[in-house]
Copies of this chain bind each other. A is one copy, B any other.
Amino acid sequence: MNAHYDGGMPRRSPEDRSPSQVDVARAAGVSAQTVSRVISGQSNVRPETARRVMTAVDAVGYRLHAAAASLASGRTRTLGVILVSSDRYSTSAILLGVESVAAESRYTVTTASVPHHSTPASFIEAFERLERQGCEGIVILAPVGYLAEALGTRTERTPTVGHRQADSMGIDALVDQRAIARAATEHLLELGHRSVWHVSGDDFWQESKARREEWEAVLREHGATPPPVLPGDWSPESGYRAGRTLAAIPDATAVFVSSDEMAFGVIRALHEAGRIVPDEVSVVSVDDIALAAYAAPALTTVGQPFEKVGRAAATRVIDMIEKREPSPVEPLHPQLIVRASTARPPAPST
C-alpha cells in the first residue's frame, strides 16, 4: 500500500496545455461563457453562434475538462457500480447495460468490486469508496439481504439502486424474484410432481430469500408441505453437497435450484448416486447462463434479461439523481426455458 500517493508534480507549462474554452472562445470570436453554454447544450444560443463555436471546437481540438466542470458545477456525473467479483455470469451483462445508459446521459461509470464471500464491512467499504470518489448514484449488483440495513442512512445521501429485490429498503426491485420462483415451481408441479425440493442460494442475498418464500407459498397453494430447504451458496460445490443429500431421499422427484451453477453440482451428485435426471429427478434452475444448454442434461431454467436489468437500473438512478419522474421502464420478465432436465415424475415403483 502506497501511503503517500504523490510527491507533487510540476505544473505544466502554458504551451503544452490542452486547449480550454477560452481558446475556443477566441477562435470563434465569442465569450468563454458562450462556449460553455454551447458545450453543455443550453438553449439560449443562436443556432448560428452554436455552429461557429462547434467549428472552433473542432479546429482547436477542444475537449471538456471533466474535473474543472465538476468543480465549477458541483456535479461529478459519475455513477458507481458495486459488483461481486465471482464466477457468476450475470455481472458483465448488467454492467454493459448500466454503462450504455450512462454513456447516453453523459455519465461516467466507476466500479468497486468486492470479493466473492464478503462481509457487510466490505460492502460498506466499497460504498464509501464510491461516495468518496464523488459518485452521484450507486448501483449495487449484489443486493445482499442485510445490505439495506448495513448501509443504513448512507443510501439517503446517495441515490442507490439494486438490481434485485430488497423489499422497500430503498434499494429497489427490478426483476421480480418471486415470479422466478413461481415459474420454476409451478412448472414442476404441472408436470405432475407432488412436491418440489429447493436448493437455496446464499442467504446473504436478498433474492435468495424471496425465491425461497415464493417456492413455499406456491407449494402451500397446491396443498403440499414444503420440505426442508437445502442450503446452498451459489457455488457448484454447494449444489453438489445439496445433491448428495437429495439423492438419499427416495421420495424427492423434483428440485428447484436457485442458480444454474448449483444445478451442475446437484446433477453431478444425483448422477453419482445413480439417480437419473430427468427420469427420476427433475431439476429447474435460474439464470440461463451460456453453459445451461450444455449441461448433461441441458438445463431447464428461468432466464433473466440481464442487460436490460442494467439499463433499467442505470435509468433509475439517473432519474433519482436528476430528481425527475421515474422514466417508464419496460417490464423485466423472467422467462422459463424448458430444456431436458425436467420431465414427468416416474411412475410409483410400488
Residues of chain A touching chain B, judged by Cβ–Cβ distance below 8 Å, are: 1-9, 11-12, 40-43, 63-68, 70-71, 73-77, 83, 85-87, 89, 91-93, 95-96, 99-100, 103-106, 108-113, 115, 129, 132-134, 235-236, 239-240, 261, 264-265, 268, 271, 289-291, 293-296
Contact = CB atoms under 8 A, between A and B. Distances in A.
Contacts of A76: 66-67
B264 A294 contact: yes
A42 B113 CA distance: 29
Question: Chain copies in the assembly?
Answer: 2
Nearest to A85: B96
9 contacts: A2-B106, A3-B41, A8-B40, A9-B75, A67-B68, A67-B76, A87-B92, A99-B111, A261-B291
Nearest to A1: B104
Given A40-B4, A92-B91, A133 B296 contact: no
Contact of A85 (B9, B92, B296): B92
A2 B104 CA distance: 6
A124 to B, nearest CB: 15
Contacts of A289: 87
Given A104-B1, A134-B66, A294-B264, A111 B113 contact: no
Given A66-B134, A296-B271, A296-B296, A5 B85 contact: no
Contact of A111 (B12, B89, B110, B239): B110
A75 to B, nearest CB: 6
Given A294-B265, A296-B271, A6 B40 contact: yes
Contacts of A41: 3-6
A245 B319 CA distance: 51
Contacts of A265: 294
Contacts of A293: 236
Contact of A290 (B108, B134, B236): B236
Contact of A294 (B43, B67, B268): B268
A66 B73 CA distance: 13
A75 B64 CA distance: 15
Interface centre among A43, A95, A290 (most CB of B within 10 A): A290
A6 B95 contact: no
Contacts of A40: 4-6, 8
Contacts of A71: 65, 67-68, 71
A113 B99 contact: yes
Given A83-B92, A96-B113, 20 more contacts: A1-B105, A3-B41, A4-B42, A6-B73, A11-B74, A12-B74, A64-B132, A66-B132, A67-B134, A85-B93, A85-B96, A87-B89, A87-B93, A89-B89, A100-B113, A108-B110, A235-B290, A236-B291, A271-B296, A296-B296
